[in-house]
Amino acid sequence: MSSVGEEVTPRLLDEYTQGFMVSQVLFAACELGVFDVLAEAREPLGSDAVAARLGSSPRGIELLLDTCASLKLLHVETGGGRALYKNTELSSTYLVRSSPRSQQNMLLYLGRTTYLCWAHLAQAVREGKNQYLNTFGVPSEELFTAIYRSEEERLQFMRGLQDVWSVQGRSVMTAFDLSPFPLVCDLGGCSGALAKECVSLYPGCQVTIFDVPQVVGTAKKHFPFPDGGRISFREGDFFKDPLPEADLYILARVLHDWTDESCSRLLRRIYQSCREGGGVLVIESLLDADGRGPLTTQLFSLNMLVQTEGQERTPAQYQALLATAGFRDVRCQRTRGIYGAVLARK
Ligand SMILES: C[S@@+](CC[C@H](N)C(=O)[O-])C[C@H]1O[C@@H](n2cnc3c(N)ncnc32)[C@H](O)[C@@H]1O
């Protein structure tokens, strides 16, 4: 039995309290290029060598590397009074910029933008709205004007969103057999990550990426597309402009940005443009039926509060939105990842 003098705060409370510091260790190590330098070196490096290559303070780097080692982001070998560091498999796969499954762009976006908005979480809960004004002094009446504060910010956001599909894109695009839909329109298709997955999985299909003009411009300039003419672009505002006719409309991480009212408006427009027998594929992080989990999706939902006008939803909530717009045969498929798919037919 412990006496009052030995009392410690519960481990769970400590973990939660320090959670933001752990995130920052990860973000800072990405920002500084720690994992990239260790990947390029091809042999374990001492902290002085890492500090020299990054032009950072030896003391700061040593503290950061040792903390990364405790977090299992780095291996450390000690011998002869020296510590040598190298990437773990987790870091080599997901944190090194040149890895095909790298999540580095998303982590940089989270560290540079999302993290700052989360400093205003309590205010977001009080006001029930996003925190672009409090965080960056940017009014958020035009949501995506606020989100895309600069060309650099837009590119970082687009690269970050793409990172997730480099790992989970295949599972969401195979959640249903999409081969009956030859003409696909990816609304809010951004950098084209899912469009590329779609044409590689379904040889007969063509995809139009529909997005706002700035995003289409950035996608064409900064992201590679396969030859063959099966992916094309259309610039426009999906709330106002005519939508391309298609057999299947993809809405990936689009509805979670908007209120129920805006979602219904968009889904009604899609229903009108959709070919008879066609459908809509909603790809989102799905809440459990009672809305009380999974925790990651609940955190994403709070993130939608802090950064957008929307929220994450349960399958039944998506079903209700789709049915109100006229869609039928609504089917939901969860995947092993955090994103699931909902397919509905016209
Ligand atoms: C959260 S991102 C999701 C991007 C992509 N579907 C994905 O899953 O990675 C939302 C996308 O919707 C686009 N978008 C927002 N408002 C739009 C509008 N009014 N018309 C067309 N696209 C819009 C954004 O530019 C952005 O590419």
Query: DSSP class of residue 331?
Result: E
Q: Please check whether residues 73 and 124 belong to one and the same domain.
A: no
The CATH number of residue 183's host domain is: 3.40.50.150
Residue closest to 39 by CA, chosen among 90, 3, 78, 1: 90
Residues with CB under 6 A from ligand 1: 144, 161, 188-190, 211-212, 215, 237-239, 252-254, 257
Q: Which residues contact 59 (CB under 8 A, 6 or more apart)?
A: none
User: 85 alpha carbon to ligand 1 midpoint, in Å?
Assistant: 40
Q: Of the given ranges (1-10, 169-178, 276-285, 335-344), which has the lowest mean pLDDT?
A: 1-10
Residue 99 forms part of a structural domain: no
Residue with tokens 């510091």: 21
Among 43, 73, 94, identify where a domain stops: 94
Question: 308 falls in which pLDDT band (50, 70, 90)?
Answer: very high
Active site residue 256: yes
Q: What does the block give as tokens for 247?
A: 């057999």
Among 48, 73, 94, identify where a domain stops: 94
Average pLDDT of the residues in 21-34: 98
Q: What does the block give as tokens for 176?
A: 């249903």
- Helices and strands (H and E) in the chain: how many: 16, 10
* Residue 8: per-residue pLDDT: 83
Measured distance CA(130)–CA(135) in Å, rounded: 9
| Average pLDDT score, the chain | 96
* Residue 4: per-residue pLDDT: 60
Q: Is 255 exposed, middle or buried (0-12, 13-18, 19+ CB in 10 A)?
A: buried
Measured distance CA(182)–CA(85) in Å, rounded: 50
Check whether 42 has a pLDDT greater than 90: no
Range list of H helices, 128-173 = 132-136, 143-147, 151-173
Check whether 173 has a pLDDT greater than 60: yes
- What tens digit of pLDDT does each residue of 102-135 get? 999 999 999 999 999 999 999 999 999 999 999 9
Check whether 2 has a pLDDT greater than 70: no
Among 36, 69, 94, identify where a domain stops: 94
User: 15 alpha carbon to ligand 1 midpoint, in Å?
Assistant: 35
Ligand 1 atom with least separation from CA of 215: 25
- What tens digit of pLDDT does each residue of 203-217 get? 999 999 999 999 999
- What tens digit of pLDDT does each residue of 239-273 get? 999 999 999 999 999 999 999 999 999 999 999 99
Q: Please check whether residues 111 and 90 belong to one and the same domain.
A: no
Check whether 82 has a pLDDT greater than 80: yes
The domain in which residue 73 lies consists of: 4-94
Q: Which of 165, 211, 240 to mutate to test the pocket of ligand 1 (most atoms within 8 A of CB)?
A: 211
Q: Please check whether residues 192 and 71 belong to one and the same domain.
A: no
Q: Which of 147, 158, 253, 262 to mutate to test the pocket of ligand 1 (most atoms within 8 A of CB)?
A: 253
User: 150 alpha carbon to ligand 1 midpoint, in Å?
Assistant: 16
Check whether 3 has a pLDDT greater than 60: no
